[in-house]
């Protein structure tokens, strides 16, 4: 899932179509939701388990497809449900 902050719907939709993304994209056009969650920089990632609990936060760019990162995510999911 992606949250687009401060962007207009038509701009986001064009970007999604251009890149062929199929995952859920949510708009926070006026940045109110980001402000509520204390987002001060982009990109930021929130890891949320299946119960809806926040289990991790990562600010800045990350290589999510490395073996080390996959292992970390598996560990977080396993240890915190």
Q: Mean pLDDT for each 10-residue chunk of the chain (81 residues)? A: 90 94 91 86 81 82 85 78 52
Same structural domain for residues 33 and 46? no
> What pLDDT does 8 receive?
93
> What pLDDT does 48 receive?
82
Which is it for the CA torsion 52, 58, 64, 67, positive or negative? negative
Same structural domain for residues 28 and 47? no
Same structural domain for residues 6 and 23? yes
Distance in angstroms (rounded) separating the CA atoms of residues 6 and 48:
23
> What pLDDT does 80 receive?
57
Distance in angstroms (rounded) separating the CA atoms of residues 23 and 62:
19
Which residues make Cβ contacts (< 8 Å) with residue 32, sequence separation at least 6?
none
Same structural domain for residues 52 and 80? yes
Same structural domain for residues 49 and 32? no
Same structural domain for residues 28 and 56? no
Is the distance from CB of 29 to CB of 22 less than 8 angstroms?
no
Range of the domain at 73: 41-81
Q: How many domains does the chain fold into?
A: 2
């Amino acid at each position: 899932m992606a949250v687009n902050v401060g962007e207009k719907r038509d701009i986001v939709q064009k970007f999604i179509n251009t890149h062929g993304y199929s995952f859920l994209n949510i708009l926070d056009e006026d940045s109110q939701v980001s402000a509520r969650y204390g987002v001060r920089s982009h990109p930021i990632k929130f890891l949320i388990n299946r119960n809806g609990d926040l289990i991790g936060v990562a600010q800045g760019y990350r290589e999510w497809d490395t073996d080390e990162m996959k292992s970390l995510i598996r560990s977080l999911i396993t240890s915190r449900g």
